[in-house]
A and B are shown apart, each in its own frame.
Chain A
Amino acid sequence: MTTTLQPAIGPEAPSKKRSLKRFERYSPIAATVVLLIVMLAFGGIRYDNFLSGQALLDLFNKNSYLFVLAIGMTFVILTGGIDLSVGAVMAMGTVIAAQLLSKGWSPALVIPVVLVISTVLGLLVGLMIDKFKIQPFIATLAAMFLARGLSLMITDRQIAITDTFFQKMNLTHINLWETTTNTRRGVRVSDVYTTWSVVIALLILVIAFVVLHYTRFGRTVYAIGGGESSANLMGLAVARTKISVYAISGLCSGLAGILYSFYTASGDPIVGVGYELNAIAAVVIGGTLLAGGAGYVLGSVLGVITLSVIYAYKDFDGGLNTGWTRVMIGALVLLFIVLQRVLVARRK
């Protein structure tokens, strides 16, 4: 036996090095934070009012539904799966809500119905994946077509929502503070505001964080991503957890649909095409490994903000179009995948 592994037993490193090593796992999320700061600084230098309070809050206001989608997606990707159905399920949520409201249903009934339907759909997808060993990619692709098809069967055009509660959620501003801006016409005083949708999204974030880090269910999600057969041999509830993450993703998609219909005061069967890819991109940019087992829901939220900044560039700069934003997102996703590879390779 000539091979010597590192000292196996006994003090293997001075404690100072140890404590540093503990933070190494946060390096992908640190990269996201640095990137975000750089992007915000760039926007602030280049565009007027880019860093004004309202512009920053709009990063949240305009994309509250994407936050919720990305949070649900994080659960799935942490187990090593993927959910391609979230955009379509979100659209289905808006359509079911608009249709039921137009039939005179109460919002107090409509919202739970939408959430239950989307959760059940996610549950069925999870059951397919677990019981019949179908690839998550295929199962959720099927669910995507199903949800989109159902939405189009209900209506093939946009339905306006006139319900007072939805209107209220659409229009109500939560005023945070007053601000003065200098415009050419003189000094203007306005309120900096956010919306109830953002509050709901942040609430979901807190719940998701607690579930992932302070419950056995959450730790099992991570364990499955680390090694499904190991988790099974450790006696963890692998099947139940795997099914649950798809149900959670379904629930989040339904909620995103509700938030979207607050935002647009309508139900639209063709909305959200490609949003699943935005959600996946946000999760990846947020530092979560696509292979599962490593990442943070907070990172996914930072990922969504990063995407929002890119959209804000477009809004502030008339010379940029949607093509440009997609190239930018693509480049960032690529950058982060390469970064993950390098980090994983270095650790080995």
Chain B
Amino acid sequence: MLSNTQSYADSPDGTGDRPVATPIVEMSGISISFPGVKALQNVAFRLFPGEVHSLMGENGAGKSTLIKALTGVYTIDSGSIRVAGNDVLFSGPGEAQNAGIATVYQEVNLVTNLTVAENIMLGREPRRFGMIDWRAMRKHSRKVLADLNLDIDPGSLLESHSIAVQQLVAIARAVDINAQVLVLDEPTSSLDAREVGELFTIIRKIRDSGVAILFVSHFLDQVYEISDRLTVLRNGELVSEHLVHDLPRIDLISKMIGKDLAALDELEEGTKREATERVSGGAFLHAEGVGKTGSIKPYDLEIHPGEVVGLAGLLGSGRTELARLLYGADKNDSGAITIKGEPVKLRSPRIALDNKIAFASEDRKAEGLIGDLTVRANIVLAMQSERGWLRQIPRKQQDELAEKYIKALDIRPTNPEALVRNLSGGNQQKVLLARWLITEPKLLILDEPTRGIDIGAKAQIQKLVASLSDEGMAVVYISAELEEVLRLSHRIGIMRDRVKIAEIVNQGVTVNDIMETIAAEAGQPA
């Protein structure tokens, strides 16, 4: 199974120099757009036989889109894909598979209601006289599983096995179709440390047999452990390609996050915060050991009135998950939260609202704004729901409120009857902010409030956050842009791999300090 792909036995140990070979996969000038989004723009990517190549980038960078272009799930708008020297244009996953590209997706994409053997061989079952030969199928599966050191009964149902084993069965299927290219999209996200170790042993074994492996993970430690080469994407564009040992982590992170901040800094002169101690007078909210299994490890957090607490970390580090617990959007299964000294169970957003906690979601389209309603209707929405729907806010009062906030936040167009979906991203964000500000929250949680909006609007939102905190509002500020977090926050919680690994007072802290903390090897003191 593993032996009949072309071999590069001359590659010394699989970690150092790649053989001078032609790439098995060559993608160039790839562009894909969805309505309103340019998911990929002119991206090039290559993959050599016998290497593990990691695809890196923040959320929305285009990793998944690129993988799906390669595996035939999406069709490309322009560009070319060459596999083993031939131009290809796949119209479905089946065709990509026939061309030797096998994919294991993040959520195990097998059918758990059938046996292990079937999951390995489905669509390629051995047949005798036109009928499936079950004995040959089990025999063959047993051999494939043995090659991967997996001792499980091929006749057992897939659902009787742990996710980790299912993941390995998916890999067994991929290997068994004589794949020349194996795509592993976040294969480790549901595995524990020991299982990851086992998986890596298998990946190395497959790689050494000459298969090209495309690996995606948001765990930096794992990427550095297993990869030979990596390609960085940002905002749907190619940033660069490197050999792993040529690229220190800190450079990788800055490439992933990007620096378009010089322009912003000029607008920002006035808002740079001093790390004043605003801890007098007791915390507004105190969380102790709050966590949720499978979502975020227990953390402690204290937020004082008038304080901005920033959360920094890469995508998937648990920033949003932490915030969702504070808003009752998810229920914590450990720890306790007190608000102004009173213990509170934040079981639902409703209860959080009653306690004057507001949450502006990172996904403003899906979880926040209603595009087909007017600016006015969106602004009064939260207030109306707080009053109850039977006590309609009088139209006159609605108009006044809308007017006031459109002016205060400089929402354009200034017409309160404009439909929200026709507004730019930055203005939509302001409408969302206005909605929560009307309810006069004591704690405002902002998840990526400036993502995907232009620099001017960004600066306005940052200034607004600063002035709100000066007026005594507590703010939790989540952003992938470290500069932004640094500029606004009094204290910064640093997240990695769903753990809050450090909390620092923002005094003389630089972006580099935070990056180093994030990049530090797991286990080392931050």
Contacts and interface: CB of A to CB of B under 8 A. Distances in A.
B379 to A, nearest CB: 36
Contacts of B156: 18, 21-22
Interface in A295-333: none
B165 A227 contact: no
A226 interface: yes
Contact of B111 (A18, A213, A230): A230
Nearest to A18: B153
Interface in A153-206: none
Interface size class of A (residues with CB under 8 A): 35 or more
Most buried by B among A3, A5, A18: A5
B114 A226 contact: yes
Interface in B127-143: 127, 130-132
B198 interface: yes
Contacts of B193: 1
Interface stretch (B34-42, B102-110, B391-399): B102-110
Interface string B73-113: 10000000000000000001111111000010100011111
B157 interface: yes
A294 interface: yes
Given A22-B155, A234-B122, A236-B122, A222 B162 contact: no
A22 B123 CA distance: 23
Interface stretch (B144-152, B203-211, B370-378, B484-492): B144-152
B142 to A, nearest CB: 13
A293 B113 contact: yes
B382 to A, nearest CB: 34
Contacts of A229: 109
A249 B127 CA distance: 26
Nearest to B164: A8
Nearest to B128: A214
A230 B119 CA distance: 11
B160 interface: yes
A18 B154 CA distance: 11
A214 B130 CA distance: 8
Contacts of B293: 3
Nearest to A218: B132
A208 B73 CA distance: 33
B195 interface: yes
A105 to B, nearest CB: 35
Contacts of B159: 347
A237 B95 CA distance: 11
Nearest to A225: B113
B123 A236 contact: yes
Nearest to A227: B111
Interface in A1-42: 1, 3-6, 8-12, 18, 21-22, 25
B151 A1 contact: no
A7 to B, nearest CB: 9
Contacts, number: 111
A214 B132 contact: yes
A222 B150 contact: no
B269 interface: no
A45 B118 CA distance: 45
Interface in A62-102: none
A226 B130 CA distance: 24
B123 A216 contact: yes
A21 B155 CA distance: 10
A223 B131 contact: no
B192 A1 contact: yes
B125 interface: yes
Contacts of B351: none
A210 interface: yes
A104 interface: no
Interface string B154-182: 01110110111100100001000000000
A8 B111 contact: no
Contacts of A219: 114, 118, 122, 125, 132
Given A1-B192, A236-B123, A226 B112 contact: yes
A5 B111 contact: no
A6 B163 CA distance: 10
Contacts of A4: 192
A234 B109 contact: yes
Contact of A9 (B93, B113, B150): B150
Given A21-B156, A219-B125, A235-B123, A3 B192 contact: yes
Given A214-B132, A233-B73, A233-B103, A8 B109 contact: no
A208 to B, nearest CB: 14
Contacts of B95: 235
Nearest to A210: B131
A49 interface: no
B163 A5 contact: yes
Contacts of B97: 235
B299 to A, nearest CB: 15
Given A1-B193, A5-B195, A214 B123 contact: no
Contacts of B151: 9-12
B149 A226 contact: no
A130 to B, nearest CB: 14
Contacts of A11: 151
A119 interface: no
A232 interface: yes
A5 B164 contact: yes
Interface string A235-259: 1110000000000000000000000
A220 interface: yes
B251 to A, nearest CB: 28
A80 B198 CA distance: 36
Contacts of B111: 222-223, 226-227, 230-231, 234, 293
B114 A222 contact: yes
A235 B110 contact: no
B170 to A, nearest CB: 9
B162 A5 contact: yes
A6 B103 CA distance: 25
A226 B109 contact: no
Contacts of B160: 21, 347
Nearest to A230: B109
Given A226-B113, A234-B93, A235-B94, A9 B118 contact: no
Nearest to A214: B131
A227 B112 contact: yes
A1 B149 CA distance: 23
A223 B93 CA distance: 16
Interface of B: 73, 92-98, 103, 105, 109-114, 118, 122-123, 125, 127, 130-132, 149-153, 155-157, 159-160, 162-165, 168, 173, 192-195, 198, 293
Interface of A: 1, 3-6, 8-12, 18, 21-22, 25, 210, 213-216, 219-220, 222-223, 225-227, 229-237, 293-294, 347
8 contacts: A18-B153, A25-B157, A219-B125, A227-B111, A231-B122, A233-B105, A235-B97, A236-B94
Given A3-B293, A226-B112, A232-B92, 20 more contacts: A3-B192, A5-B163, A5-B192, A9-B150, A12-B152, A21-B160, A216-B125, A216-B127, A219-B122, A222-B111, A225-B113, A227-B110, A227-B111, A227-B112, A229-B109, A234-B109, A235-B93, A236-B122, A294-B113, A347-B160
